[in-house]
Amino acid sequence: MTAEMKLKRMSEIELQEVEWLWYPYIPFGKITIIQGDPGEGKTTLGLRLAAACSNGSGFPGMEEREPISVIYQTAEDGLGDTVKPRLIEAEANENLIFNISEDTDVLTLKDERIAEAIRTTGAKLMIFDPIQGYVGEDTDINRANEIRTVMRGIANVAEKSGCAIVFVGHLNKMKGTNSAYRGLGTIDFRASARSVLLVGRLRKFPNVRVIVHDKSSLAPEGKSMAFNLGNDEGFHWIEGYDSITADELLCGGTNETKTDAAEDLIRDMLSSGDYVPSERIYERAKEKDISPRTVTEAKAKIKGITTKKIGKAWHWAILENADCTE
């Protein structure tokens, strides 16, 4: 049977303004993917996002808003022994976080219960962890035509409901490949997403987990962000890693960040133990395309650095004992 042909003029299409849960990283009514290798912090990020949205605390740079309902689905972790304790730790409002029961019927992205649950709860955020666990046993994640149909269906649910749908995804083992081809399964997962966030750790600082905005179809890509994970300090946001790229992160951050370069520069210039004019340090940093703000951030990370005003100018040094500070 041939489908009836209908034509639309672009002049008849109304302009729609994109609304954001977290600009420019997560749009409402669209699909976002958070992906990374196992143990790199992507699930932690997803749970922290759910908690922050449920209690109204938000993420850095997120527009202030009232708490919203969230649906969280996991195919890998137990709700009672893993998910709930981590949400409690993140101070989530548990009354606003829901889960579609899979006790008798396994949920897939084709399931009508997804749209029904969004309508019933009024959820503005739904998270699936991982995406590969919800495509269904009859769907091959490596077949573009099959995944394209599934993702088109869930994208329609997101658009009609205005709910931000976030998928947590695993990476494949193709090291050295462009980040666009590192997602597990066909690239059509990525193609369906309006935003893709890459999460990984730095080899040099294993407690630092960086978020790189690896794809952005609706706004300029946001700066990279970082959070602490894996030590006694617990989860907290960290500054100074906003220049890391996707390729650098996939290599474990072995390429120096601007902050690393600034820290090395300061240490080198102060290695003699003498006071050096701060103006000279900033000038050298400028030659290396390092901003004054990054120099200041790097300075704050160096233990033992002291400052002293000599004449009208501030000078820096690395000394064991100091009686003056800036």
Q: Tens digit of pLDDT for each residue in 148-158?
A: 999 999 999 99
- Nearest residue to 49 (alpha-carbon basis) of 99, 90, 102: 90
Predicted pLDDT at 324: 38
3-class secondary structure, 72: strand
DSSP state letter for 110: T
Is the pLDDT assigned to residue 88 strictly greater than 90?
A: yes
pLDDT in tens, 4-52: 999 999 999 999 999 999 999 999 999 999 999 999 999 999 999 999 9
Provide the pLDDT for residue 89. 97
Confidence of residue 325 (pLDDT cuts 50, 70, 90): very low
Looking at residue 176, its pLDDT comes to: 62
The one-letter amino acid at 93: N
Sorted by where each starts, the structural domains of the chain and their CATH numbers stand as 18-250 (3.40.50.300), 258-318 (1.10.10)
Q: How are beta strands 125-129 and 195-201 bridged, if at all?
A: unpaired
Residue 323: what pLDDT? Answer: 42
Give 231's DSSP letter. Answer: S
Q: What is the mean pLDDT of the chain?
A: 91
Q: Which long-range contacts (CB under 8 A, 24 or more apart) does 117-124 make?
A: 117/71, 118/71, 118/157, 118/161, 118/163, 119/161, 121/69, 121/71, 122/69, 123/68, 123/69, 123/70, 123/71, 123/98, 123/163, 124/21, 124/28, 124/53, 124/68, 124/69, 124/70, 124/162, 124/163, 124/164
**In angstroms, rounded to a whole number, what is the distance separating the alpha carbons of residues 118 and 215?**
26
For residue 94 the two structure tokens come to 């548990």
Distance CA 163, CA 118 (A): 8
pLDDT higher than threshold 80 for residue 194:
yes
Is 321's pLDDT higher than 50?
A: no
Band the pLDDT of 258: cuts 50, 70, 90. confident
